[in-house]
Structure 1
Amino acid sequence: MSAENILEALDPEQREVALSLDGPVCVLAGAGTGKTRAITHRIAYGVATGRLNPRHVLAVTFTAKAAAEMRSRLRDLGVPAVQARTFHAAALRQLRHFWPRVVGGPLPQLLPQKYPAVAEACSRLHLSVDRAALRDILSEIEWARVSMLTPESYPEAAARTRRPGVAGFESRSIARIMTSYEEVKRERSLLDFEDVLLHMVGFLAERPDVAREVREQYRHFVVDEYQDVSPLQHDLLRLWVGERRDLCVVGDAAQTIYTFAGARASYLLDFPREMRGATVIRLERNYRSTPQIVRLANTVLDGARGRTRETRLTLVSQRDDGPAPLIESYPDDLAEAQGVAERIHELLQEGRSAADVAVLFRTNAQSEAVEEALTGRGIGYLVRGGDRFFERQEVRRALLTLRAATAVESEDPSHTVRDTLGQLGWSAEPPAGTGAQRERWDSLNALVNLSDTVLARPGATLTDLVRELEERAEAQSAPTVDGVTLASVHAAKGLEWPVVFVIGASEGLMPISMAQTPAEVEEERRLFYVALTRAKDVLTVSWAAARTPGARSSRKPSRFLDGVIERPEPRSPQPRRSGRRGATLLDTCRVCGEMLAEPRDQRRGRHAGCPSPADPALLEGLRAWRRERSRENAAPAYTVLTDATLEAIAERDPSTDEQLLAVPGVGTAKRDRYGEDILAILARHRS
């Protein structure tokens, strides 16, 4: 592309970024303002004008997916030679090159998973820890190392920064675990990802020949998401750059949500002081969200304090008007989950794709109720977070099995894929359960869907599919899944959806109850802001007055909604319902008359162990009708009504539309579509 064509694709502020090729540059880029476009076009413009040599440019970001996206855009702009990598990938490449010269011998093996090594470190100290405690200890070790702390300096730093006790252990015990963990790695000649960065910092600081060679190779640096840089990454970057001033950093202090992992927004905010004479450019034109959503997000930041308020960007939407965001309240968490699921069902009935919808929450524990509510309506979903797609055990096994299957020529590769993945737990229809079982099925089903796309190409073979999977695994480019996304706000960072539901917007969840200091509360505000700015067209924010049905309504809406709502009273818990227009909940079992304590039992109306009072003949009649409708719809039977819903209908024997609507899993869309048929079947059975 010509230099003129590159600039034509940019707005005035983005163009200023592209033209600023001399000296240090700090780009303050708000959510949805096109920062990746700005920095990739800056690199392309510099190459097109001869100001930058593409082989001397290093673009750094934080995730493999973001790096792959940047490489793709740079290729489209005609500059494929530019290196775009994560901090760890760039440092690892350099470490492999210099290790034989500086240390001697081959680079030690990288530790694929830290959990076993940390577990052994605890075992050597005779400390009993479960998986959850192990996760917390590992996170604390990672924070200490990216903060460049040793086991000796950790206790003092933990006290100074008011780090809470981890998994029931005080700071000196964590320091002992850190020491033991280092011994485990040293005995087995293993390195973890923090070691990669630490060793490169040491090589560059102590070996002038190494520093000279790196700086000769890379003369121009661009760093994305600079608000997430840790002290260790900052030191590495400064050693890469040396005395040069060819550094462009991009970030948004209002999206700093990883301080618990060592991120420091101060590096972004203090960049003009650190690099004297730096050009500062603000990107505030939002291309992602409607003006109504942007207005709500700006209002949330209006209440910020400290540096977040002083340095905030005020977004200006470039989109046409859309619907106003909804702020909804529910009597309890189950009602909230049912209400959200019912609204999603209505959106799907209106033609929305499930992949267009996301439900975001503060803690992973909030996911379960939403999973159950979606499952009850036959709506597919995927839970985002945890292991990355290609690092999941079922995906790794599937890739190994498919690779082995390429040894035998297949006349029908698509059948081979289904047969192979079927042996690993895939089936044509999703399982009835939720949680890990459903997540495994979603992973394997995503591979099946991707295989259909790849194998539809003329002449495509199983080998072609495996090759594409390997390339995607290297780039961490997970296949898309046609389901509603359920994700914590942290896992949703950097993503966007046309429709977003933010649940749990109450005190104790947003902000989380553990946020005690003003700084911690401000991070929670930024987290809420990130959640809101994931939405493109439709945004709903909701909160529940109580945790469980019938409990005291002690929750209040989040303080972050001050200025947005006038502190509405929660909906009356009478009559108690599991959704906005969903099913009534029962307190006593229909069969034995005893109290029902479990939410699932309350929705079912009886204990799980009590036999269903439904007439088997009626239940069979309903199933026969469902099979017929399933054939007419050319869709799986569960998409009409699930087994649990049919059973509830047979048990409750509703005779009116309103009574039918109160059955779990029915909802307005199902009632409008199937209600007449169902009530007719029930009436015939009664007569």
Structure 2
Amino acid sequence: MIKNQNQIFQEEFEKLNTEQKRAVETTEGPVLVTAGPGTGKTQILAARIAKIISTADNKAEDILCLTYTDAGAIAMRKRLLQFIGPDAYKVEVQTFHAFCNLVIQENLDYFGLRGLDAVSELEQISFVHKIIDNFEKDNPLKRYVGDVYYETKKLLNLYDQMKRENWTAAFLHSHIDSYLEEIILSDELRYKRDSKYGKKGDLKVKEYNAIVERMMQLKAAADTLNTYQDLLKQNGRYDFSDMILWVIDAFKKKPEILSHYQEKYQYFLVDEYQDTSGAQNEILQLLIQYWDSPNVFCVGDDDQSIYRFQGANVENILSFKNKYIPYGLVEIPLINNYRSSQYILDAAKVLISNNNTSRINPNKNLVAKNPDYANLDNAPTITEYHNLAHEAVGIAIQIETLKKQGVKLNEIAVIYRKHAQADDIIKYLQVKNIAVNTKKKIDILHEPLIKKIVQIMRYVSAEMHKAHTGEVFIYEILHYDFFNIPPIEIAKISVNVSNKNFNERKTSWREEIKNAWSKRPSDLFTQNSQQGKELMYASKVLEGWIQSGINCTVQQIIEKIINESGILAQCLTNADKRWNMQLL
């Protein structure tokens, strides 16, 4: 006998525990479910949608389900197909970005965004470089030596954060000022006892000034967001965070657009609520603000506040709870776990208990309910170390011990938060000739070898467009090891340039480098000076690359730099030659 969707739903519903059933059946009003991994969140979301559709005159089109990832949306749709069949495609199951794109596409006349393309990473970098190039001399972010574009990644990260949280520069300025007012009064910046640096209670001026300097840099960085947005607009580009901000702006300025979606959707469900950004949360709040007690169902994990580095933000859950308690908020904690053993859950509770200040249910005790895992005899051991260095060595020694005991290396795994934490462990294991297999994404633009090539390209580009505008790069470039020029010789040229410019005998690095090797041997170098040859070679290849900038493609110039600079020869003789060749 073929089962219909209703039978399948009823069978699955009966498998739910008491709290899960309560979450499914409480279809009206605000509901907050706190649930961690392995508690059946996706199942109850799908079952709840099926329950709503089966009640009264509700239709699938009345429901908006917002997820954090595309994978979450796909998983939800598959589960719905089991419960309600083809009607699953009528339920609006979208990520926040996809929903905002839907709003934009349905209101193109208002948004006027035809012809816009998503900005590429290279374009983002180019726009930020333009911003940096136009810094005033007194801008706290302006650099005159080293990598003048050092702040590029930081600025892009800040722009992304400001957009995701819908922060303005004025908002950041205000909070920075408040922070500085608070920090100057804090005990952390006061001497605890008399010393040669100050008396007990005196302000630690050096530390305070360092904080002020960082905050001024943050203010200056925040002020550049509008310029970045203007560059995106001028070039017909947008990023995904812009879509959410556009819709927020439209909902606020054009009430009829907002009211259309408030009338269209009567039930709102949000998965992974702790992962929503400030801007995403504002989209939700605007949609449900029409009702004092909206039919909104949010599922979040307050324990994931430990994943703040990945974007988890438990503050959204706390603010939602506080806002809707007066309007009959129903709170449902899911404590039955179907994925882990009780040992694992108890150990996790010990660690997570440190986050009590940011948890909704600090006394929550998860219970292992899956008989296949619940009673597994594999209690974890928690080891505390004095510092990260001790931890790295301790873990490496444990791995070495396990190997000596005959444990296969492919049965040993190390899970860490950041790749940098594994570096010391890997180095120790390599010294002990213990093979390591690790995978991580590498931004090759931050690899030392590639950074050198990029810096040379910046110099060539600057000199090609306007002579002597690449001076800020040349001092560093001449120190690159593949040129093998002694630092003392570079220092001599630097002094010559400074002295002549100070005495108004204007000169440039390009001229002084050429003069240095073209002088008579007795004048600057000895007859067979290797240093003179190296300086001469560096000068000739640099001049050649500048000329190539006019006559060759970018790819050809990069090829010339790799071949003619000595980079390729150096890579082939280096201990890390395989890795270096992969980078090239």
Instruction: Tell me if TM exceeds 0.5.
Output: yes
Would you say 1:277 and 2:328 are equivalent positions? yes
CA distance in 2, matches of 1:303, 1:344: 31
How far did 1:259 drift?
A: 5.3
Cα deviation 1:511-549 (Å, max 9, x = unaligned): xxxxxxxxxxxxxxxxxxxxxxxxxxxxxxxxxxxxxxx
Would you say 1:287 and 2:297 are equivalent positions? no
How far did 1:329 drift?
A: 6.7
Match of 1:110 in 2: 118
Match of 1:469 in 2: none
Match of 1:368 in 2: 423
Q: Aligned match of 2:314 in 250, 257, 265?
A: 265
* Contact 2:13 2:47 (8 Å CA) reproduced: yes
CA distance in 1, matches of 2:405, 2:267: 47
SS of the residue corresponding to residue 382 of structure 1 reads: coil
Q: Aligned match of 1:335 in 385, 389, 393?
A: 393
Match of 1:382 in 2: 439
Match of 1:55 in 2: 61
Which structure has the larger Rg over C-alpha atoms?
A: 2
Match of 1:46 in 2: 52
Q: How does 1:573-612 map to 2 (within 5 A)?
A: none
Number of equivalences:
388
Would you say 1:314 and 2:365 are equivalent positions? yes
Match of 1:324 in 2: 379
Q: How does 1:517-528 map to 2 (within 5 A)?
A: none
Cα deviation 1:163-222 (Å, max 9, x = unaligned): 978989623311232233122112212222221111101111222331232223332211
Match of 1:218 in 2: 265
SS of the residue corresponding to residue 365 of structure 2 reads: coil
CA distance in 2, matches of 1:30, 1:6: 20
The verdict on how the C-alpha distance between 1:253 and 1:51 changes in structure 2, with shifts beyond 3 A counting, is farther
SS of the residue corresponding to residue 332 of structure 2 reads: strand
Would you say 1:243 and 2:252 are equivalent positions? no
* Contact 1:71 1:83 (8 Å CA) reproduced: no
Match of 2:102 in 1: 93
CA distance in 2, matches of 1:336, 1:206: 59
Q: Aligned match of 1:10 in 16, 36, 58?
A: 16
Q: What is the CA RMSD across the aligned residues, in angstroms?
A: 3.7
Match of 1:179 in 2: 226
CA distance in 1, matches of 2:240, 2:351: 36
SS of the residue corresponding to residue 415 of structure 2 reads: strand
Q: How does 1:224-623 map to 2 (within 5 A)?
A: 224-244=271-291, 245-257=294-306, 264-275=313-324, 276-308=327-359, 311=362, 313-318=364-369, 319-328=374-383, 332=390, 335-336=393-394, 338-339=396-397, 341-342=399-400, 359-371=414-426, 377-378=434-435, 380-383=437-440
The verdict on how the C-alpha distance between 1:238 and 1:168 changes in structure 2, with shifts beyond 3 A counting, is closer
How far did 1:228 drift?
A: 2.8
Match of 1:152 in 2: 170
CA distance in 1, matches of 2:18, 2:239: 43
How far did 1:27 drift?
A: 0.5
How far did 1:315 drift?
A: 1.4
The verdict on how the C-alpha distance between 1:166 and 1:30 changes in structure 2, with shifts beyond 3 A counting, is farther
The verdict on how the C-alpha distance between 1:194 and 1:343 changes in structure 2, with shifts beyond 3 A counting, is farther
Q: Aligned match of 2:250 in 203, 212, 219?
A: 203
CA distance in 2, matches of 1:87, 1:227: 14
User: Which residue type is aligned with residue 15 of structure 1?
Assistant: K
CA distance in 1, matches of 2:425, 2:148: 27
Match of 1:136 in 2: 154
CA distance in 2, matches of 1:257, 1:288: 20
How far did 1:53 drift?
A: 2.2
CA distance in 1, matches of 2:26, 2:106: 33
Cα deviation 1:483-516 (Å, max 9, x = unaligned): xxxxxxxxxxxxxxxxxxxxxxxxxxxxxxxxxx
Match of 1:122 in 2: 132
Match of 1:625 in 2: none
> Which has a greater percent of strand?
1
Structure 1: gaps (5+ residues) = 394-434, 437-607, 610-687
Cα deviation 1:295-340 (Å, max 9, x = unaligned): 1111223344434376553212221233111234788465345346
CA distance in 2, matches of 1:58, 1:202: 20
SS of the residue corresponding to residue 317 of structure 2 reads: helix
Match of 1:459 in 2: none
The verdict on how the C-alpha distance between 1:349 and 1:262 changes in structure 2, with shifts beyond 3 A counting, is closer
Q: How does 1:161-172 map to 2 (within 5 A)?
A: 170-172=217-219
The verdict on how the C-alpha distance between 1:345 and 1:133 changes in structure 2, with shifts beyond 3 A counting, is farther
The verdict on how the C-alpha distance between 1:43 and 1:345 changes in structure 2, with shifts beyond 3 A counting, is farther
CA distance in 2, matches of 1:181, 1:35: 39
* Contact 1:124 1:180 (8 Å CA) reproduced: no
CA distance in 2, matches of 1:188, 1:232: 24
CA distance in 1, matches of 2:442, 2:45: 30
CA distance in 2, matches of 1:131, 1:364: 24
> Which has a greater percent of helix?
2
CA distance in 1, matches of 2:377, 2:159: 45
